[in-house]
Amino acid sequence: MRRQLIGLPTLIEDVKSIKDELKDLKSSCDFMNGRLDDFTTRVADMENRVIGMEQFQDTVASLEMSKEPDLNNVEIKGIPLKKDENLFSIVEAISKATSYSFPEAQINYLHRVPLHGSKEKAIVVSFINRYIKEEFVASARACKTLSAADVGFSGVSQRISVNDHLNLAYKNLLNKVKALVKERKFSYVWVKYGKIHVRKNDSAPAFIVGREADLNKIAYT
C-alpha cells in the first residue's frame, strides 16, 4: 500500500499537467473558433458586396438598355485619323462615293469618339432629319466595296462601315446576337431605327431583339 502511495504525488502532478494542457488546448480551440467566426463573417461580407456590385451592374445595364438610341445618329468606322481633318468634307466624300447627296445643313453636329478596345476613333454624325440619315446609311451599306481610298485616303484599302450609332449596352447585345445568329445558322441580322432585327431565312418573319431575354427567340427558333 505504501509503495502505491509513493507514486501518487507524481500521478497527481501528471494529471494536473494534463489538465493544464487540455486547458491550453481548449483556449487555442476557442481562439481558432473565434478566428474562424471572424473569417466566416468577412467572407459573408465580401459575398454581400459582390452581390451588391452585380446588382448595381445589372441596374446600370438595365438603365442603359432603357435609354432609346438617338435615331438621328450615325457611326462611321474605317476613316483614318488625320491632322487638321475636316469631318464635313469626309462625310461629303462618302455621300459622293455612295451616290447619295444631301445639304450640309442637314448635319446637326459631328465628332470623333473612341471605340472600346481599339485605338481607332469612329465618326459620329447627328442628322437633323431622320429619313435623310436612313437614306445615307442605306446608300453606304449598298456600296459593298466602300473603302478609305474612295474618300481621299490614297492607297488605304481599309473598309468603311456606316451604321446606326448604338449605346454601349446595345452594342454588347448586338455582339451577342451576331454570335448566336452564327451558331444557330440564321441568315440575317441588321439594325434599323435603332432596333436589332433578326430573320432566320427568306421565308421566316423578322423579329426584334431588344433585351437579353429576347436571345431565347434565336436560341429556340
- So what's the pLDDT on residue 173? 92
Residue 131 C-alpha cell reads as 429619313
Answer whether residue 146 shows pLDDT above 60. Answer: yes
Cα 179 to the chain's mean position, in Å?
A: 14
- So what's the pLDDT on residue 110? 95
Other beta carbons within 10 angstroms of residue 220's beta carbon come to: 7
pLDDT digits (tens, 9 = 90+) for 70-125: 789 999 999 999 889 999 999 999 999 999 999 999 999 999 999 877 888 999 99
Position 142 confidence tier, pLDDT thresholds 50, 70, 90: very high
* Mean pLDDT value across the chain: 85
User: Residues with Cβ < 8 Å from 208, sequence gap 6 or more?
Assistant: 195, 196, 197, 198, 214
Of the listed ranges 56-65, 141-150, 156-165, the least confidently predicted one is 56-65
- So what's the pLDDT on residue 170? 87
Answer whether residue 59 shows pLDDT above 70. Answer: no
- So what's the pLDDT on residue 8? 57
Other beta carbons within 10 angstroms of residue 198's beta carbon come to: 24
Instruction: Specify whether the CB–CB gap between 157 and 147 falls below 8 A.
Output: yes
DSSP track, 12-33? HHHHHHHHHHHHHHHHHHHHHH
pLDDT digits (tens, 9 = 90+) for 170-206: 888 999 999 999 999 999 999 988 889 999 999 999 9
- So what's the pLDDT on residue 9? 64
Comparing C-alpha atoms, which of 126, 112, 128 is closest to residue 77? 112
Average pLDDT over every residue of 9-23: 70
Of the listed ranges 20-34, 108-122, 125-139, 169-183, the least confidently predicted one is 20-34
Average pLDDT over every residue of 24-50: 76
Residue ranges of alpha helices (H) inside the chain are: 2-6, 8-66, 87-97, 130-142, 168-183, 215-219
Answer whether residue 5 shows pLDDT above 70. Answer: no
Q: Where are the domains of the chain?
A: 2-66, 73-164, 168-219
- So what's the pLDDT on residue 54? 66
- So what's the pLDDT on residue 24? 75
Question: What is 73-164's CATH topology?
Answer: Alpha-Beta Plaits (3.30.70)
